[in-house]
Amino acid sequence: MPVQASNFKAEVSTLLSNKDFPGLKAKLAPWLPADVAPLLAELPVEQLAALFRGCSKELSAAVFSYIEPGARTKLLKTLTQPQVAALLNELPPDDRTAFLNGLPLDLAMQMLSLLSPEERKVAQELMAYPEHSVGRMMTLDYVAVRPEWTVRDALAYIRTHGFDRETLNMVYVTDESGVLLDDVRVRRFLLADPETKVGALMDGNYATLAPADDREKALQVFRKYDRVALPVTNAEQRLIGIVTADDMLDVASEEATEDIQKLGGSEALDEPYTTIALGKMVKKRAGWLVVLFLGEMLTATAMSYFEDEIAKAVVLALFVPLIISSGGNAGSQAATLVIRALALGEFKLRDWWRVMRRELAAGLMLGVILGSIGFLRIVIWAQFSDIYGEHYLLVAWTVGASLVGIVLWGSLMGSMLPLVLKKLGFDPATSSAPFVATLVDVTGLVIYFTVAFFILRGTLL
């Protein structure tokens, strides 16, 4: 049933304020936890604490997954130790691991001590994997059946053990030692004859992840095979967990956010913009700004090198902002397109020559377009003003030819730099748009004044 957000939250808030827990239970009873959890997560921490004391463990765990990281810590401080223990034990293993991973070490250890022996073992095993690995994200809540069972036996097992599993869309088939043999969609069980052997439903067409795999690789595998869940196997091919599509959606969002922040010339914030501490945000942004500022100083150095040319033909200085911004813009475009294509797996590093050929063609055509506009602008303007002097046609050719070369160079720089960084083992998103623009600014000036020297020599220079 759909929930009317404003009315629902107001009614729940009133019930909590009046400490009407029987009325609260009656109000929440018709709703699935997944439907109301995002709305309840928006309540103030004090009311959330009262809610957690009065509602079921299942609902508490569902709501907890939607609460902002900072509010989670505050909430836990308002609950008793048994209440915190019950909540942590109820959380899905992957959600709990993500929560513990964001805590300071001493607090994470304290939270671990509140878990039951079985859940503590699970949590410690998951947290032993590298950060941002598949092992940290996987859950142990899956259903596995044997190939010699009948469909009737498998469905009976699913009814008995599947209630609290992460997903039932996929059923995994393993042998007696736990080695994964196949994954089978549950609809095949539902449509098959009850006496059919599970082995007859297998087609051997499945994909797996390793616990040490990076989450970006997992995202690519999910995209490739279009699955709602993927099994995780160890070196012996034993099934040790699964990763579900809802976790991959979170990963896709986080990776896209991280890349966008880096493309903007900043380190990844790792926290929501509205909640990150001001000092931490300044620290994340200051480093790149300083690097870019020092890089732009090279522009001034390049300008001083061509001081004599500027003194002889002051008109050249009028077009410096136009020239360097065009190259920087072309480079930023190319860098953004290549970085995103790399992230989506549209090509491999070995295809660098293919990328270079495309950018050579694209950069040349874009340069001709901008160069033509620049040429026409000067020629037309000169008909109504003498600002460009008697040699305005040569100035127009200088600007036009320079734009062709600079836009072409900017496109090549923007497309090749991410590939070089990827080859060296760095994040391609580090080659941010401002960084590419700064590099192209300096080299653009050299191209501009070199072209001016050859075209204007003997006239203005």
User: Is a pLDDT exceeding 80 seen at residue 353?
Assistant: yes
Q: By C-alpha distance, which of 249, 247, 229 is closest to 239?
A: 229
For residue 244, name the pLDDT band (cuts at 50, 70, 90). confident
Average pLDDT over residues 108-126: 86
pTM of the model: 0.65
Mean pLDDT over the full length of the chain = 83
User: Is a pLDDT exceeding 60 seen at residue 5?
Assistant: no
User: Is a pLDDT exceeding 60 seen at residue 3?
Assistant: no
Instruction: Return the half-sphere exposure (C-beta side, CA atoms, 13 A cut-off) of residue 79.
Output: 27
Average pLDDT over residues 15-26: 79
For residue 201, name the pLDDT band (cuts at 50, 70, 90). very high
pLDDT digits (tens, 9 = 90+) for 119-173: 888 888 888 888 888 888 888 888 899 999 999 999 999 988 877 677 788 899 9
The vertex-307 CA angle with 440 and 321, nearest 5°, equals 40
Strands 229-233 and 144-145: unpaired
Q: How many helices (H) and strands (E) does the chain have?
A: 21, 5
Separation CA 329–CA 441 (nearest Å): 10
What confidence score (pLDDT) does residue 18 get?
A: 80
Q: In what order do the strands lie in the sheet with 170-174?
A: 144-145, 170-174, 180-185
Handedness of CA 21, 25, 26, 28 (dihedral sign): positive
Average pLDDT over residues 101-119: 84
Count CB-CB contacts under 10 A for residue 166: 21
pLDDT digits (tens, 9 = 90+) for 281-295: 888 888 777 877 777
Handedness of CA 201, 203, 205, 208 (dihedral sign): positive
pLDDT digits (tens, 9 = 90+) for 384-422: 887 777 888 998 999 999 999 999 999 999 899 889 888
Strands of 55-107, DSSP E: none
Looking at residue 214, what DSSP letter applies? B
User: Is a pLDDT exceeding 70 seen at residue 432?
Assistant: no
Separation CA 115–CA 120 (nearest Å): 5
Separation CA 301–CA 246 (nearest Å): 52
pLDDT digits (tens, 9 = 90+) for 302-341: 777 777 777 777 788 888 888 888 888 898 889 888 888 8
Q: By C-alpha distance, which of 92, 10, 24 is closest to 58?
A: 92
What's the Cα-to-Cα distance from 368 to each of 36, 65, 182, 344, 401, rounded to whole Å?
57, 54, 56, 30, 8
User: Is a pLDDT exceeding 60 seen at residue 63?
Assistant: yes
For residue 372, name the pLDDT band (cuts at 50, 70, 90). very high
Separation CA 323–CA 325 (nearest Å): 6
